[in-house]
């Protein structure tokens, strides 16, 4: 019976080649340790940065759990989508188009306020940077994320931009809306609302019902944002 030729050197070379390529399934690598740990590291970093911005800057004032949920999922989705597609050759226009689509989203259930849209834009931008900056040194990516946090912290700080709250009031003392009665109207509003009102603007005037819409500016006791201050629709 013939014995097949066996060359230990050739077998060792084949074993080394298989070990270097790793396990594959239908031509696709099953596990790449370098790519796996890089994905995990960048994902955790991006999630941490977005969480810090949402938790300590947005949610601290707005207390909107629905947007908290939305921002976190946007961060995860955008990052994973762009990170996993980064290895696929694509035009820069595709990336910018994808970014624009998500940046222009409007929710039909309610009007999205400027602050919420701004934070959504920031979260998308951060996730795009962290998901596509594969060739950029990690130090530069870290610096970009830190700059995001620092700028948001400065702009949200009351020492830089003093927050002034506003409220829409339906006012029935229409005789006091005249320019020469401004101080009297201001004193009346302060007495009736108990707010430290600094400025009043007269809006729509209804002479049939002797009412007018006023927009009052006042110093709030806390930095928390009132989400229904500007509601003018009555059921």
What stretch of H or E contains 219? strand 211-219
Q: Tell me, what's the pLDDT at 235? A: 45
Q: What is the pLDDT of residue 157?
A: 79
Q: How far apart are CA 216 and CA 223, in angstroms?
A: 17
8 A C-beta contact, residue 152 and residue 167: no
pTM of the model: 0.65
Average pLDDT over residues 92-106: 58
Q: Is the dihedral of CA 67, 73, 79, 82 positive or negative?
A: negative
Structure confidence by residue, pLDDT tens digits, 26-66: 656 666 777 788 889 999 999 999 999 999 999 888 888 88
Q: What's the CA gap between 194 and 196, in Å, rounded? A: 7
Q: Which residues contact 230 (CB under 8 A, 6 or more apart)?
A: 166, 167, 168
pLDDT in tens, 182-219: 999 999 999 999 988 999 999 999 999 999 999 999 88
- State the Cα–Cα distance between residues 119 and 188, nearest whole angstrom: 38
Q: For the chain, give every domain's residue range.
A: 28-156, 165-219
């Amino acid at each position: 019976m013939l014995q097949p030729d066996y060359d230990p050197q050739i077998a060792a070379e084949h074993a080394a080649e298989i070990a270097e390529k790793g396990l594959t399934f239908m031509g696709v690598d099953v596990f790449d340790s370098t790519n796996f740990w890089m994905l995990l590291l960048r994902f955790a970093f991006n999630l941490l940065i977005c969480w810090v911005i949402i938790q300590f800057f947005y949610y601290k004032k707005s207390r909107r759990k629905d947007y908290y949920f939305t921002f976190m999922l946007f961060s995860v989705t955008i990052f994973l989508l762009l990170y996993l597609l980064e290895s696929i050759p694509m035009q820069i226009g595709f990336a910018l188009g994808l970014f624009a689509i998500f940046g222009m989203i409007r929710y039909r259930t309610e009007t999205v306020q400027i602050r919420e849209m701004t934070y959504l834009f920031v979260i998308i931008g951060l996730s795009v940077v962290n998901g596509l900056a594969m060739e950029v040194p990690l130090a530069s990516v870290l610096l970009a994320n830190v700059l995001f946090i620092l700028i948001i912290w400065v702009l949200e700080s009351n020492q830089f931009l003093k927050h002034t709250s506003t409220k829409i009031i339906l006012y029935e003392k229409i005789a006091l809306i005249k320019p020469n009665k401004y101080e009297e109207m201001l004193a009346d509003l302060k007495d009736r609302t108990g707010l430290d009102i600094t400025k009043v603007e007269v809006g729509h005037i209804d002479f049939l019902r002797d009412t007018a819409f006023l927009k009052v500016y006042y110093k709030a006791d806390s930095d928390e944002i009132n989400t229904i201050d500007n509601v003018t629709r009555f059921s």
